[in-house]
Structure 1
Amino acid sequence: MGIQVWFIVLGVGVMTLIVWDGKRRKLKQRSLNAAGRPHQAPAVDTVPILELPFEAMSPPEEASAATSPTIQGVSGGSRIGSATHILGKVIADEPVLIKGRLEGTLIAPNHPVSVTASGHVASYIEGSCVDIDGYMVGTLKANTKATLLSRARLQGVVEAPRLECTAGAWLQVDVAQAASRQSAAMVP
């Protein structure tokens, strides 16, 4: 047998092993998903995540997690999961719950917006009622009320007619109240 035949046999053997390994991994992933444990595949191409200035602004943790109020789950609407990183603009006509990272703009002017303790937001949030329990750098605009819970770390501008701040929240903000609507009556 010539060397060329040996290379062909070796190539076919290697390809068979690759196909067999792929099937084995797929079966393993299905069994883990069926058991309720997500399988995390090894990263083939890792992209570095840009670090935001959140770490620089966070003071030492003082509030205990056992006594701090938490954000209740949104019954419907959009959810940005803890493994999700969004760069860009999100416009929602439903309630929004943020557990992951959002670098950009979130606009939901007629619905509640919540940022959980694992949520990181940079840039702009607008909602009817905005609850922050995570990190935010930028502008927060609440059309009705802004609530900063005990694990909130906020740097930027807050614009809201009502601002509620729970003990333990950390702020470095400018607070702006929307101009109050005044009606002027003209007397003849």
Structure 2
Amino acid sequence: MGIQVWFIVLGVGVMTLIVWDGKRRKLKQRSSSAAGITPKKQAVEAAPISNQPAEPISPPQANASTVSTPNIEGLTGGSRIGSATHILGKVIADEPVLIKGRLEGTLIAPNHPVSVTASGHVASYIEGSCVDIDGHMVGTLKANTKATLLSRARLQGVVEAPRLECMAGAWLQIDVAQSANRQRVAMVS
């Protein structure tokens, strides 16, 4: 027999072993899941995500020469709208949301935190339990717990929140709505 025939026989043998190994792994996975044993990889992926809002951020020191802004990009889990992504329409999420790109439309995540980074641009409507804005937004912001406008925030529109925190450097041209009463506020800092 020639060398080519041996390579073919060897290749067929290797492929047979790969198929048998795959079948063995599937049977092992099925039997362990039927017995209630969760493999380590699945246990890590199925770990619950904390629904707690981010820790409170203390305001920057007045005498500090450099103003540090909190890192809202450290969101673990949840949905991310990347910096190269542009969404037109409605997004409804039942998990934390991080926006680095553009959203023109509606974002509703009433029980989870929503963050807009410095590169994020949002037009129209955002609703979340705790909303942090460090980018640009035109429209209505509704925070069920607290709205935080960080130092690079540029906001124009309506803010409806029981608590509103504004860091030095944020630019605002907004109406502030708190429950049924609405007050006209225009600030530039």
Residues 5-20 of structure 1: pairs in structure 2 closer than 5 A:
none
User: Structure 2 matches for 1:1-188, cutoff 5 A?
Assistant: 67-179=68-180
**Distance in 1 (alpha carbons) for counterparts of 2:67 and 2:145:** 28
Distance 2:67 2:177 in 1: 32
**Aligned residues of 1:70 and 1:133 also touching (Cα < 8 A):** no
- Segments of 5+ residues of structure 1 without an aligned counterpart are 1-63, 181-188
Supply the distance in 2 between the matched residues of 1:143 and 1:128 (Cα, whole angstroms). Answer: 5
Give structure 1 regions of 4+ aligned residues with deviation exceeding 4 angstroms: none
Q: In the aligned structure 2, how far is the partner of 1:113 from the partner of 1:154? A: 15
Cα shift at 1:73: 1.7
Compared with structure 1, are the counterparts of its residues 92 and 157 closer, same or farther at alpha carbon in structure 2 (3 Å cutoff)? same
User: Percent of aligned positions with the same letter in both sequences?
Assistant: 89
Residues 175 and 114 from structure 1, CA distance in 2 versus in 1: closer, same or farther, beyond 3 angstroms? same
The alignment's C-alpha RMSD in Å is 1.6
Structure 2 residue ranges without an equivalent (≥5)? 1-64, 182-189
- Residue 4 of structure 1 corresponds to none
Alpha carbons of 1:106 and 1:65: their partners in 2 closer, same or farther (altered >3 Å)?
farther
What residue identity is the alignment partner of 2:107? L
Q: CA deviation at 1:71?
A: 1.2
State the aligned residue count: 117
Greater relative CO (CA pairs within 8 A, separation 6+): 1
For the Cα contact (< 8 Å) 1:69–1:150, is it kept in 2?
no
